[in-house]
């Protein structure tokens, strides 16, 4: 277990005879003495762990030291670990200096500044330990790696697909472990994994509130309460999942849909055409919503989002689905001509067999208002639209830390793509119409019509 004079070469799992090689090794002080609550966590962790901790608890330092300790106790060849933050830049700002400071005294440790990677040789085994700092903004870029352990920091702000689609499979062949740490951001995917983990045999779940740990001085907490809203204080210091996500555009609307059970199973109706609504990414993600109009209801039956794929990929994906399509709507930038080709993406899509409609540019605030008007009429398929639903829940205003105020524009993060695509829908939504006349276009499927 971790202690202040942790010797990285005193591996209790070393094969017989190997410990003697290090009898003359110098014991290394890594400069870490865990606080009482940190020590309790170190002693109780299981393979998978969800730790909901208040601000300034020391959760990042705790998890980094746990990772270093486990690395030197790992028998497998070339153990590899990742610290993952919501963005690559955030990983560097929050954890890089800690990793360097805590490993600089270990013989042979080498920090690679450009890659945010630390390699530590194990001469007795002829291999090395590797620690990597990564960002969650593009989960697909992390596919293919193996991991012996992972820290998912501020998981509430990470792309929600990174765990199930990328990280969990990366742990399987080496039976790796995971630590989710963070403070709540409303009832999003961090809340979901917290609830899912409760009672599971290989999962350890713990909430540490500032009112209980005494890590933060009592007078400081009083000062914080005086200048924070009740919801902000409950979220940041008392780890409340019930507090609404501050600055969220659609938070209360999505909560109402949950309460009314309008986020459920929504089957595809083959008698009704499916319209699609796009956000056109270039270097980052591209998102598409699939929507049907049934009576006065808006059935949101599917969602597609990937990063680093060309338009031909998305057209192929549309063809592979069992839907009969109506109209396809893309944002105004689909009409912009690329300098290299002189062509628009609308023209490229047409060459690929997909006829699209350009939605004129409007003020973002107008589109957000339109989405709010449409959401009460929406029924979302929980399974097919999981990431898109999470995006709408987490879409929020940008915070100006200098002036201590929210700006009148959205924060650009993983939730932007799905929310921007849904705003394309909002821009042409007309609440005065319903069913097949909702947007003034035919909604019945034409049996002789083949868009591909």
Helix and strand totals (H; E) in the chain: 16, 17
Residue 257 maps to a domain: yes
Residue 376 maps to a domain: yes
CB 187 within 8 A of CB 58: no
Cα 122 to Cα 8: distance, rounded to the nearest angstrom:
10
CATH number of domain containing 399: 3.30.420.280
Residue 211 maps to a domain: yes
Q: What angle do CA 80, 83, 89 make, to 5 degrees?
A: 130
Mapped onto helix, strand or coil, the DSSP state of residue 32 is coil
Indicate whether 374 and 229 sit together in one domain. Answer: no
Domain boundary (209, 236, 263) is at 236
Indicate whether 208 and 297 sit together in one domain. Answer: no
Indicate whether 268 and 396 sit together in one domain. Answer: yes
Residue 157 maps to a domain: yes
Residue 208 maps to a domain: yes
Cα 234 to Cα 218: distance, rounded to the nearest angstrom:
15
Edge-first strand listing for the sheet containing 149-153: 110-112, 117-122, 127-135, 80-85, 149-153, 177-182, 48-53, 203-208
CB 122 within 8 A of CB 76: no
Is-above-0.75 flag for pTM? no
**What integer pLDDT is reported at residue 28 of this predicted model?**
67
Cα 42 to Cα 33: distance, rounded to the nearest angstrom:
12
Domain count, the chain: 2
Domain with 355 in it: 251-437
Domain boundary (236, 266, 299) is at 236
C-alpha distances in Å from residue 62, one per residue of 113, 180, 415: 22, 12, 29
Q: Which residue has the tokens 């208002």?
A: 369
Domain boundary (201, 236, 271) is at 236
Indicate whether 260 and 170 sit together in one domain. Answer: no
Indicate whether 190 and 258 sit together in one domain. Answer: no
Indicate whether 275 and 217 sit together in one domain. Answer: no
H/E stretch holding 248? none
Which 8-state DSSP code applies to residue 202?
T
Q: Which residue has the tokens 């915070």?
A: 399
Residue 448 maps to a domain: no
CATH number of domain containing 64: 3.40.50.300
**What integer pLDDT is reported at residue 69 of this predicted model?**
93
C-alpha distances in Å from residue 290, one per residue of 184, 305, 388, 443: 30, 12, 11, 14
Residue 153 maps to a domain: yes
Indicate whether 326 and 404 sit together in one domain. Answer: yes
**What integer pLDDT is reported at residue 245 of this predicted model?**
67
Indicate whether 228 and 313 sit together in one domain. Answer: no
Indicate whether 138 and 268 sit together in one domain. Answer: no
Q: What confidence tens digit (pLDDT) does each residue in 437-447 have?
A: 444 443 333 33
Query: 141 Cβ partners below 8 Å, 6+ apart?
Result: 307, 308
Indicate whether 282 and 150 sit together in one domain. Answer: no
Cα 25 to Cα 441: distance, rounded to the nearest angstrom:
78
pLDDT in tens, the chain (452 residues): 444 443 333 333 333 333 333 333 456 677 888 999 999 999 999 999 999 999 999 999 999 999 999 999 999 999 999 999 999 999 999 999 999 999 998 999 999 999 999 999 999 999 999 999 999 988 988 999 999 999 999 999 898 889 999 999 999 999 999 999 999 887 788 988 998 999 899 999 999 999 999 999 999 999 999 998 887 888 899 998 866 666 788 988 988 998 899 999 999 999 999 999 999 976 567 999 999 999 999 999 999 998 888 899 999 999 999 999 999 999 998 888 887 788 899 999 999 999 999 999 888 999 999 999 999 999 999 999 988 998 898 888 876 555 555 666 788 888 899 999 999 999 988 766 544 444 444 333 333 334 44
Indicate whether 336 and 196 sit together in one domain. Answer: no
Cα 85 to Cα 193: distance, rounded to the nearest angstrom:
17
Indicate whether 355 and 265 sit together in one domain. Answer: yes
Residue 4 maps to a domain: no
């Amino acid at each position: 277990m971790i202690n202040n004079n942790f010797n990285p070469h005193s591996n209790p799992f070393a094969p017989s005879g190997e410990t003697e090689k290090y009898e003359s090794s110098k014991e290394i002080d890594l400069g870490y003495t865990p606080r009482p609550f940190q020590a309790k966590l170190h002693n109780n962790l299981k393979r998978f762990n969800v730790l909901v901790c208040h601000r300034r608890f020391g959760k990042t330092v705790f998890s980094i030291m746990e990772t270093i300790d486990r690395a030197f106790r790992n028998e497998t060849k070339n153990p590899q670990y990742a610290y993952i933050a919501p963005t690559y830049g955030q990983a560097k700002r929050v954890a890089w200096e800690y990793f360097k400071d805590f490993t600089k005294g270990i013989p042979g440790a080498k920090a690679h500044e450009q890659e945010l990677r630390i390699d530590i040789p194990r001469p007795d085994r002829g291999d090395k330990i590797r620690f990597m700092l990564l960002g969650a903004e593009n989960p697909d870029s992390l596919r293919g790696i193996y991991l012996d352990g992972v820290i998912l920091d501020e998981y509430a702000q990470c792309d929600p697909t990174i765990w199930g689609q990328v990280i969990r499979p990366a742990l399987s062949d080496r039976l790796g472990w995971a630590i989710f740490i963070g403070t709540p951001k409303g009832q999003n995917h961090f809340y979901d994994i917290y609830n899912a983990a409760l009672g599971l045999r290989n999962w350890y779940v713990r909430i540490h509130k500032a009112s209980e740990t005494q890590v933060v001085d009592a007078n400081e907490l009083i000062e914080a309460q005086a200048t924070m809203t009740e919801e902000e204080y409950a979220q940041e210091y008392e780890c409340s999942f019930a507090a609404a996500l501050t600055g969220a555009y659609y938070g209360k609307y999505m909560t109402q849909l949950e309460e009314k059970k309008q986020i459920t199973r929504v089957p595809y109706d083959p008698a009704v055409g499916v319209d699609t609504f796009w956000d056109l990414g270039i270097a980052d993600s591209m998102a598409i919503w699939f929507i049907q109009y049934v009576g006065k209801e808006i059935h949101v039956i599917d969602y597609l989002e990937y990063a680093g794929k060309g338009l031909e990929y998305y057209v192929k994906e549309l063809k592979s689905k069992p839907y009969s399509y109506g109209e396809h709507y893309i944002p105004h930038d689909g009409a912009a001509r690329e300098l290299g080709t002189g062509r628009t993406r609308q023209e490229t899509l047409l060459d690929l067999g997909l006829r699209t409609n350009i939605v004129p540019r409007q003020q973002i605030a107008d589109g957000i208002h339109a989405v709010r008007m449409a959401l009460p009429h929406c029924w979302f398929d929980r399974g097919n639209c999981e990431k898109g639903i999470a995006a709408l829940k987490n879409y929020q205003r940008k915070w100006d830390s200098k002036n201590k105020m929210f700006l009148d524009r959205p924060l650009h993060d993983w939730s932007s793509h799905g929310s921007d695509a849904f705003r394309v829908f909002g821009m042409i939504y007309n609440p005065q119409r319903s069913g097949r006349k909702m947007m003034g276009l035919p909604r019945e499927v034409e049996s002789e019509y083949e868009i591909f």
